[in-house]
Structure 1
Amino acid sequence: MYDDDDDLSLLDPEIDLESPLDQIEPLDADEESQPKPDPEAMLALLTAPGTQQRMLAARAFCELQDERAIPHLIRLLSDPCPLVRVSAAYGLGRNPSSTAVVPLITQLNNDWNGYVRKGVVWALGNCRDRRSLEPLTDALKTDISAVRLWAASGLAQMAELGYEAIVASIPPLIEALRQDPIAAVRSNCAWSLGQLCREMPSNAVYAGAIDGLIEAFAEDEEMGVREDAKAALLRVGDPRGLQLIETLEQEGLV
């Protein structure tokens, strides 16, 4: 867990994939033994003058779902403290709202802190909004590895937004699956392609996605990526992918 300083160092562009909240223990490992935070008390603390109070309140809404918190969490996206901002982003990811999409995109474009951008990208994916497609795609292409990691998985949420959003999401995922230098990002791309292909008819875009998954399964240098590509092909159930998996496994080539 990070100290309660009002600053966070920048993420290493190719190593630090975790965020401060990834390392925070649950408020109670046994959810039945203690109640969740009091929503009324946490709502009041969202506007508290103390940084520590605002941070703890925003973090509480990573566990609580209460639409009354949404405008306060949106406001806290621009808090001077990055720990408050990242907590607010995670809170909005647990309390997704169409009203948060534009503020989240604005913060993604402007925030210098990689931890915050990672949380924002996760929240944008959870919002399942067509407006999230372009910033998620841009983040997958241009941001640091920790942000690309969640941009890749966030694009899987476009499966719920219809054919056009799915089609627009697939090419950047194929490109990152083939070219991203970080194995974990490539794995998330494979997973997302599997999710999206399940919602597609068999056409040229679908075939390109299957080609990308087959290539990753057969050729990626990292076993974890190969396994995730295989899992995606199995999940989709594409006959061409299934046949290749069987052939390569019989020949002992994977």
Structure 2
Amino acid sequence: MILFPAIDIRNGNCVRLIQGDYDKEKVYSNSPLEMALTWEKKGAQGLHLVDLDGAKTGEATNKEIIIDIAKNVTIPVQVGGGVRSFEQVESYLSNGISRVIFGTAAIENPTLLQKAVTSYQDKIAVSIDARNGYVATNGWKNTSKIQAIDLLKELEEIGVKTIIYTDIFKDGMLQGPNFEELQVMNDASSIQVIASGGITNTNDVDTLKSMNLYGAIIGKALYDGSIFLETLLEGDKNAR
């Protein structure tokens, strides 16, 4: 299972939000690039970057910072937040980004998603952010009438290979992931599932590994020191 430290970018800073609430922000660094280099140095296998401004506005607000990170690290970088056009996808993928993540656009513009998947195959992923089982959009401000499991099946038909699944109520709360929903999503299709939200300790990570998930994104627990990336990676080595 690939472990992705999360770097959420807002106003040029590396921040964390609680349950996606833009009024509940904590700034951890004023240099997302330095943060990325730190995680790479600690052994990260990939980085998960989110343009929080972009997720809210639909514009690639922090694009320059994100591309700068991709050009200065040697590990894969996946990016989400504000991806609303094919030009944005092309721009990211031609500037060192390994995978581009659709969120709101996957719901509101399935034609765009289909075009991107047809052109770039497994370099395109979709973030399914769920609130009580229903998909949330526009930086989690709105909740749709689409159930997460139904969207998953639609994505499989389109040809999407990877999803990031977040239970919004778990995000930033350090209360553990929604293991039950993650298992349902993982069992329901052939799509690779990356878990996000609520990961609190090494036991959570071990449980996710036992579920045969493709990856896990860790945010607040890393930044607050309740999990150390080196410890998790050392555990991986010892298990081999």
Global fold match (TM > 0.5):
no
Higher relative contact order (CA 8 A, sep 6+): 2
State the TM bucket, normalised to the shorter chain. Answer: 0.3 to 0.5
* Greater per-residue helix proportion: 1
Higher strand share: 2
**TM-score, L = length of structure 2:** 0.34
Please identify the structure whose Cα radius of gyration is greater.
1
With normalisation by structure 1, the TM-score equals 0.33
